[in-house]
């Protein structure tokens, strides 16, 4: 009976996430057409920012309320889910073409971001601190790297970042409504799903670190999942892959950066195992891009990624 209300609110959150994701994709695509941006750029910036809001909200609220232990686990779990489950499911729906700029810029930056947070979390830079955490100075570094990446993304275009779509943009009124309604829907949905998923997990006896890695990470990644599925169903693989890559980078640089400014983020040594899995997930994504025909993720490779996420969840639950 104690779980009935959280379950109902969880369902309401799912509906808000689905509607918000669809509105955001439509609005972002319209803006991209008007600005003559490629689907990849739209996914890396507007859509990635909007779908990263749940991680941001959960982390900020957790830090303010004195539960910063969820923050890093939330981001590691979310980023792993983005690559293994979201790209996997999206590829099952429609094979994802990976642009040359993603291979040269975004995938390496994702690797670099993961490496940086692993070094910071293990006090590679601040080894004199008796407590292993990501502190406010490292948070500033992360934010600076995040702004530098956004500037590079927006200012430096390559020849294959041109859009050949013939789709017409929505009227400005509908475009603005779609963007605002989409972000609001994602915010409300992410808040409802994340909060009530935490309540249910604690009612069912899960540890805080496991909650961050599994339940909270899964809940806050639902916008990315739904947005990429919608984009893949519309055969817009540029937004599907750009959404994942951009969201992963912003999760580490921007979300963790802001979280670390609020309070130091403690890091448990056992989380290094999940960080290693995240590195492996990034490596698999890159390997799959260069195997088979063309630079793309096939349905078979998508199935392998999805199975990898099942293994990650099993391992995380078994290690709690």
Tell me the per-residue pLDDT of 258-277, one tens digit each, with 9 for 90 and over.
999 998 888 877 788 888 99
Q: What percent of the chain has pLDDT over 70?
A: 86
- 173-192 pLDDT tens trace: 999 999 899 889 878 887 78
Q: What's the Cα-to-Cα distance from 182 to each of 29, 47, 122, rounded to whole Å? A: 12, 10, 37
- For domain 39-157+205-318, the CATH superfamily is NCX, central ion-binding region (1.20.1420.30)
User: Distance (Å, rounded) from C-alpha 304 to C-alpha 314?
Assistant: 15
pLDDT of residue 150 exceeding 90, the answer is no
pLDDT 10s digits, 198-236: 787 778 777 666 777 887 788 778 777 887 888 788 777
DSSP letter at 125 equals S
Distance CA 250, CA 264 (A): 19
- pTM exceeds 0.85: no
Least confident of 97-101, 127-131, 228-232: 127-131
pLDDT in tens, 237-259: 667 777 788 889 989 999 999 99
Rounded CA-CA distance 295/302 in Å is: 14
- pLDDT confidence of residue 162: 45
Summarised one tens digit per residue, pLDDT across range 153-180 is 777 655 444 444 455 788 889 999 998 9
Specify which of 7-16, 61-70, 188-197, 276-285 reaches the highest per-range mean pLDDT. 276-285
């Amino acid at each position: 009976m104690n779980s009935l209300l959280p379950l109902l609110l969880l369902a309401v959150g799912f509906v808000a996430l689905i509607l918000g994701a669809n509105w955001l994709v439509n609005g972002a695509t319209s803006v991209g057409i008007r600005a003559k941006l490629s689907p990849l750029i739209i996914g890396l910036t507007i859509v990635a920012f909007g779908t990263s809001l749940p991680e941001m909200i959960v982390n900020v609220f957790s830090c303010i309320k004195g539960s910063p232990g969820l923050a890093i686990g939330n981001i590691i779990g979310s980023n792993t889910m983005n690559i293994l489950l979201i790209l996997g499911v999206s590829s099952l729906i429609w094979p994802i073409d990976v642009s040359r700029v993603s291979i040269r810029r975004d995938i390496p930056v994702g690797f670099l971001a993961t490496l940086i947070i692993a070094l910071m979390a293990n006090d590679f830079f601040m080894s004199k601190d008796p407590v292993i955490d990501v502190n406010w100075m490292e948070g500033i570094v992360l934010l600076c790297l995040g702004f530098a990446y956004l500037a590079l993304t927006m200012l430096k275009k390559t020849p294959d970042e041109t859009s050949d779509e013939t789709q017409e943009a929505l009227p400005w009124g509908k475009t603005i409504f779609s963007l605002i309604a989409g972000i609001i829907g994602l915010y409300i949905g992410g808040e409802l799903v994340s909060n009530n998923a935490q309540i249910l997990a604690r009612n069912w006896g899960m540890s805080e670190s496991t909650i961050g890695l599994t339940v909270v990470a899964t809940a806050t990644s639902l916008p990315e999942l739904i947005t990429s599925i919608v984009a893949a169903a519309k055969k817009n693989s540029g937004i599907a892959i750009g959404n994942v890559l951009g969201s992963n980078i912003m999760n580490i640089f921007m979300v963790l950066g802001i979280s670390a400014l609020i309070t130091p983020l403690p890091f448990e040594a056992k989380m290094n195992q999940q960080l290693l899995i995240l590195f492996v997930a990034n490596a698999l994504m890159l390997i799959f891009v260069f195997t088979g025909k063309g630079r793309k993720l096939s349905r078979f490779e998508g199935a392998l990624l999805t199975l990898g996420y099942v293994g990650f969840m099993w391992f995380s639950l078994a290690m709690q």
